[in-house]
Chain A
Amino acid sequence: MDTIRCPMCGKENAFSSERCNYCNAALKPFNISETPSTSENESDWLSSLRSDSGGNEESIPLPEDSFSGTNTPEEEAPDWLLRIRQRMEAENTHGRERKEDQAAQKPEESDAIPDWLRGLSDIPVEEGTPPQSEFISESESEDETPESTEDWLSRLQEPAQEEKPLAQEIPEIAAEDAEQEAPIPDETEAEEWLKNLAAWQAPVSYEKPEQPTPLASEHPEGTSEEHPSFEIFQQPEHIREFFKDEQNIPEQPEEHPVERSEEQPDWFKALQQQVGSVEEPAITPSEEPELPSWLRDFDRTIETSAVSGEALGEVSSEQDNSLKAEPAFLEEENPLPFSDEKHDEGISAFIPENITTPENREEKETPEIAFLEESSATNEIQNIKLPEEESLENVSGLPDWLSSVIPENEEQPSPVVPPFEENILPDWLNEVQEPPESEKAPFPQVFDVYQPVDRNPKVPVSPFEEPELPEWFSELPQHTETSSVSEVPVPSEEIAPAELPTWLKAMKPEEPRLPLSDATGFLQQSGPLAGLPEILPSVEQTLSIRKTSVQAGKLLISDKQQRSADIIAALLNRLGETTTSASAKKKAGFNWLRLIFAALLILVILVSIIMTQPASSGFLLMSESAEAAYTAIDSLAPDQPVLVAFDFEPGYNGELSNAGRGIIQHLVKKNTRLVFVSTSATGTVLADTTLLDGLKEMPEMADQTIRDSFIVNRTVNLGYLAGGTASLQEFAQNPKLAARYGLKAPMDGIPTWSLPALANIQSISDFGMVIVITDSSETGRAWVEQVEPRLGAIPLIMASTSLAAPMLEPYYESAQINGLVMGLTDGSRYHVRMTSSPSDANVELALQASAGLVAIILFAGFMIFSIQNLRSGRKV
């Protein structure tokens, strides 16, 4: 070939290259002879194998496809498996040539075959059955079919050739050459056991387990139904046929026919003969080929072991006998550690379950290895059924080199040929000597997880297997079981218990009485602790828990509180209730009294106004405070600025307008400058209105021009002072700052404080008088409290309603106010003094009449209802 396929990535590389150009994997199999020993402790057998196998540096050309149908990614397989595949493929192409060469194998290489392996060749083979090596795959005829590891064994039969790098690569099988007929005394011990390893393979089939075997999991690559696993194809045809029949596995490619060589080793012949014969009698230990002792012992253990039906199945007696042919070395020198029947079970447990048994195989076309068929282990394993669901791909088990040794004919198991001859053991194995049985530790029994432990847990289990405790243990302080509470020192009888004095006993608190519960011997009946003794009873105590008794206290409430509570409850109950229908609803009656009283009042007032009569002389008498006010205003010098504050609501304009007009007319007659201000938004408007009305009543101001001139030159309206009492304080401190702009400033654009009416006025004390016309006592009080302290000698005059007069009169009494015009009476009389208008008398008359009427009404009501109450009281 010019190219070589990489076993890892499958790409073609040059034949001469050693590593793949794509994945850098080794293209050529590992040559043991080329590799240096990695450690000094490498066993001699391995080194000898490497040296004996020769420096076959020629690498086996890898076939294009390692195995037919296998879809196993080569990257996932271990290296040794890959190498085997490669070798198998190479063997396919060079199989026949190799076999021809095998016939001409060197006697030196044939001498390397151990005796036990040679003995396998003595197995009789039926005629017609193509010679088959267990190590040769049946698919050898096809290019794409995998080649079993039987080739390596067949190669062992053949002389070591340069074309057999397989033996060199696989350490386990490298030592096994084709020569097995005669023992090779010159062969090293390591080589011998390696060569004889294949002899103790159990070529039996097992019953199909219900669950997949653990060994099957080790080979996940062979799980596809379409592509059988490597292990299956490695097995001889009879094995594969077994699988096919048991699990309906599709037909597997035929194995490559075993090319029997003329000089096949005896062991191989024996295997073939064993496979060929169907009812081959069990080979007794005397008839069987010479098996190493160790293998014979192994067979014996397998024979005697009782295999569980699930795992391994039944074992036929024939297989038991075959298993008895175990290597001698195993019997004598190196007896198996498993000396009991149960120990054999353990061994058989390690045998894969899916190994076919000779019984399940069909016509034996190829010989089988006798020792495998005759072994008792095969008998045991014979009945092991393969899992139904598993295909050949899922079958895993013994290594390839071992699985290929399984003979076809399960009915006649081949005798187990021990890998070592009797008493010929490798050095390393001789060193490992089985201790005498008396010293041997009992093999641990097979532990079944499903079976309960019948051991009494209370029985102490010594951690030491040996009955004799070690020395160090004896040095420890011993704890005897008898030591318990009894170790508590008992007080001696000599010391008498002290008696507590009576007073101390009285102080002793009463010990709480714990619930009497005998916990000893009490077994919990329910709950998670059921069955456990010496546990506080939980169920009973929980059930005995009672609810705490709640003593409801009686709430003491009085009768009045109860009635109030009832009322509230009734109100709450009525919430959301809709009103009753209109029929139940009482129609509210017309309130005739309101109409009558209103009518009477209006009538009286109208009559009083209509009646015109000249005011009497007494009509001009005012109250003392009003007189004082009149006097104060009358004493003003001409051209003095007078601050007049209109702080009343429009509703009281009727009561205060007369007082206002009168005061203004008086001030006009005194030729003073009038400065109007208000802390009410409507006061400024009322001031202008009152001024205008007052001027109109004056005969000297009858001309509008004069009035306008007077208004422009002699009056100024400072507007509205926002802020209430605070604004009064500010105005009192700095009138210019408090009232920067007048009411008419936005219209004429003239600065307010530049008007003639405000000439020479810098502070509140520059005014000649302050007159406050108000309807509330609070406003008057504010003026008195905020402004009056800053006035000094400047008189403060007030004109108020009858409502506020009583509250402002004390200020007059205290001389904080220089005059007080109270109500409509004083106001109208003041006005009459100024104008001598008869209307003011009518107004006062109307006032008096209405007041009298109201008094009468009140009195009448008082009388009427009092009498009515008296009458109702008498009746009750």
Chain B
Amino acid sequence: MKAPVAVAVAISIGLIILSGYFFPIPVLEPIRITLLGWAVSLIGVATLIGIVYLIKNQWQSMRSKEQKNFYSPVLIFAFLITLVAGLVLTPASSGFQKVITSIQVPIETSLLAVVSVVLVIAGFRLIKQKKGWMSVVFLASAILYLLIGSGIIFTNDGINDGLVGFLHRLPIAGGRGILIGVALGSLVTGLKIIFGAERPYSG
């Protein structure tokens, strides 16, 4: 799609959606709903394309002589099995749901456990790898919030106000700042797209 046409389409759609937020114009409501429906459909199709691309890459790596991957055929096989089972049994089937609960949940949980162990070791070696006050502060904060978050510091009276409360609310402040920054960034990015200054769709 040529640049001028893509820009025009992006700007027009952005303005329509944005105006629907601020101005409850009855004419814009159905247009906005329609456009959102198209966007959702396109995102769904993009998801399917991503799945197909993933399978294609695995197939090519399986067939290539130079970079043969042993797990590629396993992945493709599992994918095909899951696909067939989902089409046949449907996701509502208890049997198909066991694929999720019995395979995927344990695998991902195990991965998270491994990640936690790795993080512990990395924290353990942090001072050794990277010297400096930031490393000390990071370790100190990690230890503190591990204790606070685990509830060790909790008292029977609840979360103590004061230092603990301050320390408990300190991440919240940081988070708020981050959220504000994210919100502002999102706003500016949206305005750039509406104004045509930024064209992520041009490739």
A interface residue numbers (CB < 8 A to B): 591, 593-594, 597-598, 601, 616-618, 621, 623-624, 649-654, 682, 684-686, 688-689, 717, 719-720, 722-724, 726-727, 729-730, 733-734, 737-738, 743-744, 746-747, 777, 781, 802, 806-811, 813, 823, 825, 844, 847-848, 850-852, 854-855, 857-862, 865-866, 868-869
Can you list 26 A-B pairs with a CB-CB distance of less than 8 A? A594-B118, A598-B117, A601-B116, A618-B154, A618-B157, A624-B159, A651-B105, A685-B101, A689-B100, A723-B39, A723-B41, A729-B36, A733-B32, A747-B90, A781-B182, A806-B171, A806-B172, A809-B171, A809-B175, A847-B150, A851-B149, A852-B147, A857-B120, A857-B124, A859-B143, A861-B124
A738 in contact with B109 (CB, 8 Å): no
B128 in contact with A653 (CB, 8 Å): no
- The closest CB in chain A to the CB of B172 belongs to A809
A869 in contact with B127 (CB, 8 Å): yes
Segment from B55-63, B65-73, B91-99, B193-201 that makes contact with A: B91-99
CB within 8 Å for A730 and B117 given contacts A686-B100, A854-B146 = no
**Pairs A-B, 3 closest by C-beta atoms:** A651-B108, A861-B124, A851-B150
- The closest CB in chain A to the CB of B150 belongs to A851
Docked complex Cα distance between A868 and B179 (Å): 40
- The closest CB in chain A to the CB of B140 belongs to A862
Interface residue from B33, B100, B179 paired with A781 (Cβ < 8 Å)? B179
B100 in contact with A650 (CB, 8 Å): yes
A664 to chain B, nearest CB (A): 16
B101 in contact with A621 (CB, 8 Å): no
- Greatest chain B CB density within 10 A among A720, A806, A825 is at A806
Interface residue from A593, A598, A649, A825 paired with B108 (Cβ < 8 Å)? A649
Docked complex Cα distance between A823 and B171 (Å): 14
- Does B139 touch A at the CB level, under 8 Å? yes
B44 in contact with A723 (CB, 8 Å): yes
CB within 8 Å for A684 and B40 given contacts A855-B146, A858-B139 = no
A597 in contact with B109 (CB, 8 Å): no
- Does B6 touch A at the CB level, under 8 Å? no
Q: Which of B135-181 contact A (CB under 8 A)?
A: 136, 139, 142-143, 146-147, 149-152, 154-159, 171-172, 174-176, 178-179
B121 in contact with A651 (CB, 8 Å): no
- Does B16 touch A at the CB level, under 8 Å? no
A848 in contact with B151 (CB, 8 Å): yes
A722 in contact with B146 (CB, 8 Å): no
Interface string of B112-136 (1 = CB under 8 A from A): 1000111011011111100100001
Docked complex Cα distance between A174 and B120 (Å): 138
Chain B: interface secondary structure? Answer: helix
A810 to chain B, nearest CB (A): 4
Docked complex Cα distance between A255 and B131 (Å): 133
Interface residue from A726, A810, A868 paired with B175 (Cβ < 8 Å)? A810
Interface residue from A618, A650, A855, A868 paired with B143 (Cβ < 8 Å)? A855
A residues near B120, Cβ cutoff 8 Å: 597, 601, 854, 857-858
CB within 8 Å for A651 and B111 given contacts A597-B120, A747-B93, A825-B151 = yes
- Does B185 touch A at the CB level, under 8 Å? no
CB within 8 Å for A651 and B112 given contacts A733-B33, A813-B172, A851-B146 = yes
Interface residue from A616, A734, A823, A861 paired with B127 (Cβ < 8 Å)? A861
Docked complex Cα distance between A688 and B179 (Å): 32
B residues near A865, Cβ cutoff 8 Å: 125, 127-128
A734 in contact with B40 (CB, 8 Å): no
B126 to chain A, nearest CB (A): 7
B147 in contact with A851 (CB, 8 Å): yes
B residues near A618, Cβ cutoff 8 Å: 154-157
A733 in contact with B36 (CB, 8 Å): yes
B105 in contact with A866 (CB, 8 Å): no
CB within 8 Å for A621 and B156 given contacts A861-B125, A861-B126, A865-B125 = yes
- The closest CB in chain B to the CB of A594 belongs to B121
Docked complex Cα distance between A806 and B125 (Å): 26
B92 in contact with A744 (CB, 8 Å): yes
Other contacts beyond A618-B155, A654-B109, A738-B40: 6, CB < 8 A: A601-B116, A686-B101, A743-B92, A851-B146, A858-B142, A858-B146
A708 to chain B, nearest CB (A): 11
- The closest CB in chain B to the CB of A847 belongs to B150
Docked complex Cα distance between A802 and B174 (Å): 15
B123 to chain A, nearest CB (A): 4
CB within 8 Å for A806 and B100 given contacts A593-B124, A651-B105, A723-B39 = no
Docked complex Cα distance between A617 and B154 (Å): 13
B91 in contact with A727 (CB, 8 Å): no
- Does B104 touch A at the CB level, under 8 Å? yes
A residues near B139, Cβ cutoff 8 Å: 858-859, 861-862
A residues near B150, Cβ cutoff 8 Å: 825, 847-848, 850-852
- Does B43 touch A at the CB level, under 8 Å? yes
- The closest CB in chain B to the CB of A684 belongs to B91
- The closest CB in chain B to the CB of A742 belongs to B92
B89 to chain A, nearest CB (A): 9
CB within 8 Å for A862 and B33 given contacts A650-B108, A730-B40 = no
- The closest CB in chain A to the CB of B158 belongs to A621
A616 in contact with B156 (CB, 8 Å): yes
A475 to chain B, nearest CB (A): 80
B40 in contact with A722 (CB, 8 Å): yes
Docked complex Cα distance between A857 and B117 (Å): 11
B176 in contact with A810 (CB, 8 Å): yes
Docked complex Cα distance between A852 and B120 (Å): 12
- The closest CB in chain B to the CB of A825 belongs to B151
- Greatest chain A CB density within 10 A among B43, B104, B150 is at B150
B residues near A737, Cβ cutoff 8 Å: 33, 37
B136 in contact with A682 (CB, 8 Å): no
Docked complex Cα distance between A869 and B147 (Å): 27
B40 in contact with A593 (CB, 8 Å): no
- The closest CB in chain A to the CB of B40 belongs to A723
Docked complex Cα distance between A706 and B39 (Å): 41
A722 in contact with B47 (CB, 8 Å): yes
B residues near A809, Cβ cutoff 8 Å: 171-172, 175
B residues near A866, Cβ cutoff 8 Å: 127, 136
Docked complex Cα distance between A684 and B97 (Å): 9
B39 in contact with A726 (CB, 8 Å): yes
B residues near A597, Cβ cutoff 8 Å: 117, 120-121, 124
- The closest CB in chain A to the CB of B149 belongs to A802
A residues near B143, Cβ cutoff 8 Å: 855, 858-859
B residues near A811, Cβ cutoff 8 Å: 179
Docked complex Cα distance between A597 and B100 (Å): 30
B residues near A723, Cβ cutoff 8 Å: 39-41, 43-44
Docked complex Cα distance between A726 and B117 (Å): 36
CB within 8 Å for A653 and B156 given contacts A730-B33, A744-B92, A806-B171 = no
Docked complex Cα distance between A621 and B160 (Å): 12
B residues near A624, Cβ cutoff 8 Å: 159
A residues near B118, Cβ cutoff 8 Å: 594
- Greatest chain A CB density within 10 A among B108, B149, B155 is at B149
A689 in contact with B33 (CB, 8 Å): no
B residues near A858, Cβ cutoff 8 Å: 120, 123-124, 126, 139, 142-143, 146
A862 in contact with B136 (CB, 8 Å): yes
B27 to chain A, nearest CB (A): 15
- The closest CB in chain A to the CB of B44 belongs to A722
A residues near B128, Cβ cutoff 8 Å: 861, 865, 868-869
A residues near B41, Cβ cutoff 8 Å: 723
B153 to chain A, nearest CB (A): 10
CB within 8 Å for A844 and B121 given contacts A651-B111, A734-B33 = no
